[in-house]
Copies of this chain bind each other. A is one copy, B any other.
Amino acid sequence: MINDKNNCLKIIEAILFANSDLVDEKDLIKNIPRNFDLKKLLKELKEFYKSRGINIYNVKSKWGFRTSPDMSNFLKIEKNLKRKLSKAAVETLAIIAYYQPVTKGEIEKVRARNISQGTVDILIERGWVELKGRRKTPGKPLTWGTTDKFLEHFNLTDLKELPTIKEINQLGIEKK
């Protein structure tokens, strides 16, 4: 099966695609039967991709796939990368979700450490928490709670759907 030209082309395509750096001919040749002319295969591939959105490109003896240069104008795609929330932020979010409406002081008491404004800011920016008005106790502290967007993100229709702490323990989620 490997002794078929199409298969050789497939192998080269896959190798070039899977490597971020350009691949040297001497590394490609190891995967191609001797009776094939690697240079010729590479030229054929280059020709095949010439008018497509991705091209085969080489620097001396090194080869790789690149997006076609005339595509750059259309490629202003915004890529949303997801970054994990910090431990402090997840904990703060969890406390707000489970103990809302909750004051900053109460969050700190539960976490047994201060929360930085930055931590809360991230949660506000993400649209998951918001101010919920003042507590009617001396000092009238501001309280925090979760938003509808929070419910939406976690695929909940109601705060009641959050598992209780007892249930979480039964689920066998690992405690650190």
Q: Shortest CB–CB separation between residue A111 and chain B, in angstroms?
A: 13
**A69 nearest CB across to chain B (Å):** 10
A42 adjacent to chain B (CB < 8 Å): no
Q: Tell me the complex Cα distance, A44–B172, Å.
A: 45
Residue among B14, B31, B142 making CB contact with A68, cutoff 8 Å: B14
CB contacts (< 8 Å) of A10 on chain B: these are: 51-53, 68, 70-71
Complex: chain B residue closest to A45, CB-CB: B53
Report how many copies the assembly holds: 2
Measured in the bound complex, the distance between the Cα atoms of B135 and A161 in whole Å is 10
Chain B residue at smallest Cβ distance from A117: B172
The answer to whether B77 touches A15 (Cβ under 8 A) is yes
- The reply on A54 being an interface residue by CB < 8 A is yes
With A11-B74, A77-B31, A163-B142 as contacts: A172 and B53 at CB distance below 8 Å: no
Where the two chains meet, the residues of A that have a C-beta atom closer than 8 Å to any C-beta of B are 2, 6, 9-15, 17-19, 23, 27, 30-31, 51-54, 65, 67-68, 70-71, 74-75, 77-79, 104, 114-118, 120-121, 131-134, 142, 155-156, 161, 163, 167, 170-174
